[in-house]
Structure 1
């Protein structure tokens, strides 16, 4: 049995809701989460070779976490299609990762992280519902091939409806911890966590602090998970 805190956070390229560019604010928010695993979205700028918006050389000192080693969009990027996963160093030492390309109108991808007995898939889904459905169908198929692993799928789903667009996740329990966008006056539950049934969600929520409200246009979400062996 394993217990851990997992979080997801769309950094908005470290530009805050209206600017200025201030990655130290985002890192302070990440540190405040107290999480063991953090899925991050929009860690790179969307231009040219997609250079990193979140400076990798600041991460461990500010948060105690390290980015998982995975293929990146370019040599200048921190993420794969703008995404990466931060981990406690002891977890990173046993982790394997795989970048996934996703279908859709826009270029999108996911990062799949493998730990013993646990697979975490970090996503930032497309802006069109038809693309999101196709992307979730591919990810659900990937999750289904993980055998006895516990699976967590988390990130910015870009989906505001609870009853539409998530049809491919019928084998997972989908949790929307609360309103996370826009950060200054949250109204929509874009950010979600989906888990296999043998993962127990002990607690979950939105990390809503004055700093989080100005550091990005999304508030982070978190969940405390208890992971048991499947029966």
Structure 2
């Protein structure tokens, strides 16, 4: 199976134009089974989602998980998860984490096969990120399902501290800034019977301009 994580910056590209179609073009290139997005909603007003849901559904075959609390939003605090129709989202959870700025984590339990995906966008300060990672870890340790944490960790250092004691950290490579990738801000973290078979940063021409982050991608296997 294949999962992607992508901070789409509200679909505002490096040319400062909001172009959701360009983001969808990038996702069409990746062909992931599960897509975890950050900044999928506008920050002000109705917090409306920025992506064309009809195209996401009809052309790419994606369903949107129901995590939003506002009628026009795609996600919660900008965290949205799409998945292909062959999967089934059995349960969704909005996880409050310690924060100064608006932050939250979404957890999606899939069945057939059974695994849980956490979509995260962590805070801007090291101390707050540590508290957020501790909250995520405590929640994830309560499930026996395989767990994949995916998102923008906002962590410039490679060391994730105590979080790494409970998870296998997958770092596909530098994903920020899209114009000259040098920072490893976007990561996956695995726990339980899930194994990364391959990971990479998606560096297509579309991806270089669609957002200030590049998408990260991981192929994985479930089971022993």
* TM-score after normalising by structure 2: 0.94
Q: 2:148 is matched with which residue?
A: 152
User: Which segments of 5 or more consecutive residues in structure 2 lack a partner in the other structure?
Assistant: none
Aligned equivalent of 1:47 = 44
Is the 8 Å Cα contact of residues 105 and 121 (structure 2) preserved in structure 1?
Answer: yes
Which residue number corresponds to residue 135 of structure 2?
138
CA distance in 2: counterparts of 1:9 and 1:43, whole angstroms: 9
User: How many angstroms does 1:220 deviate by?
Assistant: 0.4
Cα displacement (A) at 1:55 = 3.1
For residues 182 and 80 of structure 1, what CA distance do their matches in structure 2 show?
24
User: 1:189-208 maps to which residues of 2 (within 5 A)?
Assistant: 189-208=184-203
Which string of whole-angstrom CA distances, capped at 9 and with x for unpartnered residues, describes residues 46-101 of structure 1?
1122111223333212422111122x142221110001101011213x43211112
> What's the secondary structure of 1:170's corresponding residue?
helix
State the superposition RMSD in angstroms. 1.3
How far, CA to CA, are the matches of 1:162 and 1:50 in structure 2?
A: 32
Cα deviation, residue 198, structure 1: 2.9
Aligned: 1:105 with 2:119? no
Deviation at 1:197, TM superposition (A): 4.9
| Distance in 1, Cα, partners of 2:215 & 2:107 | 20
Deviates more, 1:212-221 or 1:198-207: 198-207
For residues 147-186 of structure 1, the C-alpha deviation after alignment (integer angstroms, 9 at most, x for no partner) is x2101111000001012x4423311100110110011110
- Count of matched residue pairs: 222
- Map 1:72-111 onto structure 2 (within 5 A): 72-92=68-88, 94-111=89-106
Aligned to 2:23: 26
- 1:136 and 1:169 in contact (8 A); partners too: no
What is the aligned partner in structure 2 of residue 114 from structure 1? 109
Question: Is the Cα–Cα contact under 8 Å of residues 171 and 186 in structure 2 kept in the other structure?
Answer: yes
Structure 1 moving runs of 4+ over 6 Å: none
User: Any conservation in 2 of the 1:172–1:195 contact (CA below 8 Å)?
Assistant: yes
Q: Which runs of 5+ in 1 are unaligned?
A: none
